[in-house]
Amino acid sequence: MSSSSAATSLLLAEDDHDLADLLMRVLVAEGYDVTTAADGQRGLHLGLTRTFDVMIVDRGLPGVEGLDLIGRLRGRGVLTPVLVLSARGSTQDRVDGLDAGAEDYLAKPFEVTELLARLRALLRRHRDRAPVLPLGSRSLDLATRTVSGADGVEVELSEREAALLAVLAARPQQVFSRRELLERVFSDAESDSVVDTYVHYCRRKLGRGVIRTVRGLGYRLGSP
Ligand code: CA
């Protein structure tokens, strides 16, 4: 969603091979950039290490069960909208799915046209309420990954820079250790020096004051 011409990236976590195959073909034909995961572990790994615009998650997945997968992503700050597919369709199942952090819930069997319509609605809703976080006197728009100030100057951030600032801005009073930031933002990285590197990138783009170093403890949001 960073530009209107870019394809919408979609993670499809579904272990039913035939259904995954069918959905993959339909979604690609609709212009989605689809990545598939055949089990929950793979889905979790992809969800934590890559950025998607939307996810379709089957509830009954081997490895990590679908709702557990969503809960873990939400716990790590991944806010991508999720549509859950389930063989079960009772009200309680639906409630469980929504409670786990899914935005929508579709019981199998379903019509592909309904799935596509729900995806479009989900993306629309998400775009409309994409979070804007205060960043001192400026604000960070997570949908466009831009920081803008009262002077009208806009600064574009990379995905990782925006994710790092989003974690800090969500709790402006809290000091985060490098280890915490590593786990939340750079879970695929080996060393926590990557945190320092991205703090440096953010400061270079937005000024030194944007992130404060708290000696011996870590980093917190500054007051730029
Ligand atoms: Ca399944």
**Span from the CA of 75 to the centroid of ligand 1 (angstroms):** 23
**Span from the CA of 79 to the centroid of ligand 1 (angstroms):** 23
**Span from the CA of 115 to the centroid of ligand 1 (angstroms):** 17
**Span from the CA of 47 to the centroid of ligand 1 (angstroms):** 18
How far separated are the first and last CA of the chain, in Å rounded?
A: 27
**Span from the CA of 63 to the centroid of ligand 1 (angstroms):** 11
- Tell me: pLDDT of 165 over 50: yes
Per-residue pLDDT of 83-107, as tens digits, reads: 999 987 788 888 888 888 888 999 9
Per-residue pLDDT of 181-214, as tens digits, reads: 988 888 778 888 999 999 999 999 999 999 999 9
**Span from the CA of 131 to the centroid of ligand 1 (angstroms):** 32
Parallel, antiparallel or unpaired: strands 146-148 and 154-156: antiparallel
Q: What is the mean pLDDT of residues 22-44?
A: 97
**Span from the CA of 31 to the centroid of ligand 1 (angstroms):** 25
- Which letter does DSSP use for residue 14 in this model? -
Per-residue pLDDT of 112-164, as tens digits, reads: 999 999 999 999 887 766 677 888 888 888 878 899 988 888 999 998 899 89
- Tell me: pLDDT of 175 over 80: yes
How confident is the prediction for the chain on average, in pLDDT? 88
**Span from the CA of 124 to the centroid of ligand 1 (angstroms):** 27
This model's pTM is above 0.85: no
Q: Which amino acid, residue 216? A: G
Of all residues in the chain, the percent with pLDDT exceeding 70 is 95
Write down the H helix ranges in 6-104. Answer: 17-29, 40-49, 66-75, 91-99
- Look-up: residue for tokens 């995905």? 159
Burial 139-151 (b: 16+ CB within 10 A, else e): ebbbbbbbbbeee
The pair of structure tokens assigned to 96 is 């469980």
Q: How many CA atoms lie within 13 A of 208 on its CB side?
A: 1
